[in-house]
Amino acid sequence: MFDIKLPDLRIVPLSKLVPHEMSDEQRAIPLAVRLREEGILKNPPVIAPLGTDDEFVILDGANRVAALEAIGIPHVLVQVVDYESPQVDLHTWYHVISGAEATQILDNLTHLPEINVATTNIFHARAALARRDILAFYIQTDGQVTTLASRAHELEKRTQMLRMIVDSYIRAGHLNRANTDNINRLRNIFPDMVAAIIFPRYEPVEILELARSGLKVPAGITRHIIHGRALRLNYPLQRLAAPASLQEKNQELTNWIQEKFNQKGVRFYAEETFLFDE
């Protein structure tokens, strides 16, 4: 357990944020349009100190940061967390693919350089992925499982190969994220799916190492769960875009948050929550 405390909310320069994953054009481009139209930042990105030159690694919100950059916002409201504390859990998203041909995607994967493919069963694939004997595995709606392996052992090389795998299908259809490899559950949630790609789990130290090296994992793989997450701030973008100094903007944020508390506009939910207006 961890002690509940108020979230550390700050305004920081966009230039100080270092992504650890690629942004997803399917999400970032429409988000930029929505941000410009709505004029508010609903949920702040979550960041953690990178340990160098006052820089921060983006744990969640790479698409929001890319969208803000695209519309010319110089500063961003963020939530800062301690990556080594129990406040942060790191899990993995899997890619569920719809609107494409499963056999064509598999054929593309088969012809990637330095990738060895093999047909197996789900139990062997799960075990091999847990041992990192493989890079990922591909599962079709009929239950056929194909492992994607490489001789590479270095973190950087394996991450580059994962990006190559994702690049082979990311524009072939529509992607959704899921946290299960159970094909029956996936089909219930995504009836139009044709296949899913199951990825390995990264460790926080690996995320920091990749961010410092400038190498990014593919979009939509890492899943950071933040306990005590700040949501629905609806902070005006005009305040972030204003010509005021960073110090002035943070003082304005402090006053704005205090006013929210004075008006009883802040509520903490300890239970797990489903949100239906994302």
pLDDT band at 275 (very low <50, low <70, confident <90, very high): low
Same domain (yes/no): 58, 125: no
Query: Is position 215 within any domain?
Result: no
pLDDT of residue 264: 84
Same domain (yes/no): 85, 177: no
pLDDT of residue 2: 47
| Cβ pair 240, 72 in contact under 8 A | no
Query: Is position 132 within any domain?
Result: yes
pLDDT band at 277 (very low <50, low <70, confident <90, very high): low
Same domain (yes/no): 54, 137: no
The 3-class secondary structure across 228-239, one letter per residue, is CCCCCCCEEHHH
Same domain (yes/no): 137, 153: yes
pLDDT of residue 22: 84
Same domain (yes/no): 132, 173: yes
Check which CATH number belongs to the domain holding 170 and give it. 3.30.1760.10
Query: Is position 2 within any domain?
Result: no
Token pair, residue 205, equals 């130290």
The amino acid sitting at 105 is I
Q: Quick one: how far is CA 208 from the chain centroid?
A: 14
Query: Is position 278 within any domain?
Result: no
- Domains held by the chain: number: 2
Distance (Å, whole) CA 50 – CA 211: 8
Same domain (yes/no): 21, 41: yes
pLDDT of residue 245: 94
CA angle 172, 178, 183 (to 5 degrees): 85
Q: What is the mean pLDDT of residues 130-140?
A: 96
pLDDT band at 4 (very low <50, low <70, confident <90, very high): low
Same domain (yes/no): 104, 65: no
Same domain (yes/no): 130, 70: no
pLDDT of residue 234: 92
Domain membership of residue 46 as a residue range: 8-89+224-262
Query: Is position 143 within any domain?
Result: yes
Query: Is position 218 within any domain?
Result: no
Same domain (yes/no): 33, 126: no
Residue 185 pLDDT exceeds 60: yes
**Average pLDDT over all residues of the chain:** 91
Same domain (yes/no): 110, 184: yes
Same domain (yes/no): 68, 138: no
C-alpha closest to that of 184 among 227, 141, 150, 223: 141
Query: Is position 44 within any domain?
Result: yes
Check which CATH number belongs to the domain holding 35 and give it. 3.90.1530.10
162 CB-near residues (< 8 Å, 6+ apart) = 135, 136, 199, 217, 218, 221
Query: Is position 275 within any domain?
Result: no
Taking CA atoms, 275 is separated from 47, 116, 180, 231, 272, in Å, by: 22, 40, 19, 11, 10
C-alpha closest to that of 148 among 182, 176, 125: 125
Same domain (yes/no): 73, 105: no
